[in-house]
Amino acid sequence: MGRFFTSIRRFFINKTTTTFFGVVVGVAVLVGFYMYRVNDAINPTNVPVAKRDISATEEITKDDIEMVKISNDFLTKADVVKNTGDIVGKFVSTGTSIPKGGMFYSSQLVEKEELPNSIFDEIPDGYTIYQLKVNNTTTYANSIFPGDRIDLWMKANSDGMVVIGEFITSIEVLAVRDSQGQNVFDVTSGKTPAWLLFAVPTSMYRYLKVAEFISGMEIEPVPRNKQYTAESGETEISNQDLLQLIKNEVMDMGVEY
């Protein structure tokens, strides 16, 4: 019995035997890892896809979604949303669409308030959207943000004199758009402001639009501080002399107003 165990011991400490078993173990580890990777890659996972063509700005409902099996290997390389809870109630961003059978990518999904035209849904009765043409300079290097309360000042020529004064106070900025109509604070925007959007009473909108057509008359935004926004009063025309100046100019042009 002693010689048997001695023979076994010599067999396992033999260099050739040790090398052989080492190679076998190494190959087994490699094969096991390879099989794990293959199974992980080809093992399908359920992911949501569109049951119909969904156009830009449309809201996604649970009835628009079905589940299909997709390779795990593909999912690790794509920005695919895998949870239906992260899709339902979202909107398809502008400039894109989701085809029938297409997966949902996070870059395509936005909240309603991120859509360019969502602000029109909240306009009170008797109000109109007015957009003021601006640039990087008049917005103080793009320092005016949606939700800010600012003032609008007027510059005009009257009897050979330059008149400058506060015209409208405490007007809320609803959106800041670039020349393509995109929110300048979106990651896809060119970041250069071209328009400020406000909701104003229709009577005020009329005066602002008329001012655009009067030669030498300009409306410029003037930002205020956070306290001004927090304690904002009613939006109103604060300078009746400037308002009368608009009326006089219209009368001089022979236009009924």
Question: For the chain, what is the HEC assignment?
Answer: CHHHHHHHHHHHHCHHHHHHHHHHHHHHHHHHHHHHHHHHHHCEEEEEEECCCECCCCECCHHHEEEEEEEHHHHCCCCECCCHHHCCCCEECCCCCECCCCECEHHHEECHHHCCCHHHHHCCCCEEEEEEECCCCCCCCCCCCCCCEEEEEEEEEECCEEEEEEEEEEEECCEEECCCCCECCCCCCCCCCCEEEEEEEHHHHHHHHHHHCCCCCEEEEEECCHHHHHCCCCCEECCHHHHHHHHHHHHHCCCCC
Give domain limits for the chain. 44-114, 118-252
pLDDT value of residue 43: 62
Average pLDDT of span 218-224: 94
Q: Are the beta carbons of 173 and 188 closer than 8 angstroms?
A: no
Q: Over the stretch 36-65, which tens digit does the pLDDT of each residue have?
A: 555 555 567 888 999 999 987 789 999 999
Reported for 181-189, long-range contacts at CB under 8 A and 24+ positions apart, including other chains, are: 181/116, 182/94, 182/116, 183/114, 183/116, 183/146, 184/142, 185/145, 185/146, 186/114, 188/95
pLDDT value of residue 188: 58
Average pLDDT of span 9-25: 52
Q: Which CATH class is domain 44-114?
A: alpha beta
pLDDT value of residue 64: 94
Percent of the chain surpassing pLDDT 70: 74
Would the pLDDT of 19 be above 60? no
Global pTM?
0.60
Would the pLDDT of 1 be above 60? no
Would the pLDDT of 119 be above 60? yes
Average pLDDT of span 120-127: 79
Task: Work out the number of other CB atoms within 10 angstroms of the CB of residue 227.
Answer: 9
**Mean pLDDT score of the chain, rounded to an integer?**
80
